[in-house]
Amino acid sequence: MFRPFLFEAVLFILPFLVYGIWVLLRGGQPGTPERTGVPLLRLIALGVVSMAVGLALFAHYGGAPAGSAYVPAHMEDGKLVEPQTR
């Protein structure tokens, strides 16, 4: 359950990291005072868009195939068998 949350958090933070690297390479000045809020709004929008794309891809390609049955973890011959889908 933690892995999907971490995946989405990384997708949301990625534009901010790219912008921070760009600012550092540019010379450390984040922008003129009158345009301070504009990059932040764009970064939030890009973060939300990348997070939505990640959710869509995760929903489409993740999980078990349609019609498969979930078999919970169980013991067979004294050994623990991991949960699986069939």
pLDDT (0 to 100) of residue 82: 93
What whole-number distance in Å separates Cα of residue 25 and Cα of residue 28?
7
Q: Which of 53, 47, 58 is nearest to 14 (CA)?
A: 47
pLDDT (0 to 100) of residue 38: 59
Which pTM value belongs to this model? 0.53
Q: Which of 2, 6, 7, 13 is nearest to 48 (CA)?
A: 13
pLDDT per position as a tens digit, 13-40 = 888 888 888 777 777 666 555 455 557 7
- Where exactly are the structural domains of the chain? 2-85
Q: For residue 77, what is the DSSP state?
A: T
pLDDT (0 to 100) of residue 51: 87
pLDDT per position as a tens digit, 62-73 = 878 888 899 999
Has residue 57 got a pLDDT over 80?
yes
Residues 11 and 47 sit within 8 Å (Cβ to Cβ): yes
What whole-number distance in Å separates Cα of residue 39 and Cα of residue 41?
5
